[in-house]
Amino acid sequence: AWRNAQEQGALAASNMLGAGKAHEAVPWFWSDQYGLTLQISGLSDEGSKVVRRDLDDGALILFHLAQDGRLVA
């Protein structure tokens, strides 16, 4: 979360100087929980379909797709 705060702070300063830019960074985070690593990128609640891929090492990947097929998380 610190990186998001850093990016938004820089954007806010830029906009105070007249840049007029919107925040466009893709939200993401990671966390280590009890020997497992969780990594998320995008907005999973915008997805209407989930595609699961199991990897050989026991890990898995979930792809969240919008109604039109775009990858959203």
List, as one string, the DSSP characters of 39-69.
EEES-GGG-SEEEEEE-TTS-EEEEEE-TTS
Indicate whether this model's pTM tops 0.75.
no
Q: What's the CA gap between 71 and 73, in Å, rounded?
A: 6
Residue 1: the pLDDT is 63
Q: Which residues of the chain have pLDDT under 70?
A: 1
Residue 39: the pLDDT is 92
Radius of gyration of the chain, Cα coordinates, nearest whole angstrom: 16
